[in-house]
Chain A
Amino acid sequence: INLEYYFSRVDNYKFGAGTKLPHNVVGLFAVANSSDGDLRPGLPLQMIEVHDPVRLLLVVEQRPDIVLRTVQSEPSMYEWFINEWVHLIAVDPDSREIYRFRYGAFERYQPVSAVQQTENLAAVIENAREMETSHITDATRENLPVYTLNQ
């Protein structure tokens, strides 16, 4: 389902079903755009413009070497991580440092933006800049950085 969503989102004209408006049901098992034309694979435009397909990000609270040994233990699982289908983050429980899995090893992650301190998290969320449309180029500009909460 994820891949169907993803490919329909990437190119809705070729991999997806296009807009649902001209859809014509063919024999109770498929849709085509009208009386001529090919059957449409994938999902229609109206289904996939609600969400942005984003790769799964796994955050594991464990030392990076242990996490690395674990994911490498099973080759079919390791495929997911080494081929970048899924992102993997290890947070060291003692030093609270973030390690990112990249190119087969864990490397320290430097936050891009400066980490700020705040008393009132709710105010920060409410006053953040809202995205103009739900298209992915605007959605990624929505400024809600990830914080680590130090208790």
Chain B
Amino acid sequence: MKSPHLALVGFAATSLLRRKARTLTLVVGLAASVALLASVFFVTGALRDEARRVRGAAPDLVVQKLVGGRPSVLDPSLAPTIARIPGVKQVVPRVWGYLFLASIQSNVAVVGSSSRGPLALSAGRDLQVGERGTCVLGKELADTLGLRLGDHLIFPLPGHRAADSVVVGLFSSDVSLYTSDVALVADEDARLILGVPRESAVDLAVELTNPDESQVAARKLGELFPGARVVEKRVLDRTLALVYGRRAGFVLGASLPALLALFVLAWDRAAGLAPSERREIAILKACGWSTSDVLRVKLYEAFVVAFAGGALGIVLAYLWSFPFGAPGLREVLSGWAVLYPRTHLVPSVDGAQVLSVLALVTAPFLALSVGPAWRAAGVDPLEALREG
């Protein structure tokens, strides 16, 4: 024998199908709102996850020199002094900067290859030690300039001069998010292209034996070099977690009126019973249905609509965010670029998040339906049938 609860759920579903247009409108409207909300959560989570993924690769401290509030080049001979600070494992002077290429109306990040280590490449090879006149390019940069392995990239220099560089490697698309606008060259080539004097460096990358002591080391550095700016990785980690949440909050705040409007519509829909609905309830009660049965059916109807709309919205959000890359939304949440990295974001979604979004939608929808459902259940069958 069929369970009474299942029978009531089946009746609720049939009842919704009898009012197809209204049901479909609510489900589609709810799905659209949930899709937008869930997409913001999914894309923000993926960006945070991606940023967290490479945090370990960044130096524990970066030391810059400030002149007039702006970063300036510094003397790399500071490096041995800093290296003698207890807890400092390694200090690497770095040469990097931006070069504006008028042909693509974009800045290129010219990075001197001061450290060694494997590169994620899709083609070609890494720079060799001591090699000059060669470069490894980001995928989007190479594609925009129409360059392939073996081609020459001419870097414009001041005074109507140019630096010729042969493309020996191309970064993989897996690292496009970080390298789309990067031209990795030898340190000496970077100095030539950027105009950084031989006896200078752009900043110092400091590695610590114990990263938890970065605050102490940063304070010590500030005392030793009063004009320096010390950027701690620890602070960056905390700020990034807040920053993406803040951007997501702005977008959600702008979308909230749409979701609230939908809930008001749903409440308005449920609050007023159509004459056909009143007659239906009257007949059911006349046939022996209790008030609690009618109440349960109304709540099941609300649950089915909320679940269907919420689930459809979550599925649409996932498809929009990841296979399609959230066009229109991703730029708002992550930023813009002329050489835009086309890396697909990897979802950080888990079962708990899916359930949370579903509950976030279903619970208020059900709560809004309780009052109207109670009113519906309290319909007097004789009065309703007399009204015809």
A, B assembled together = no
Residues of B within 8 A of A (CB): none
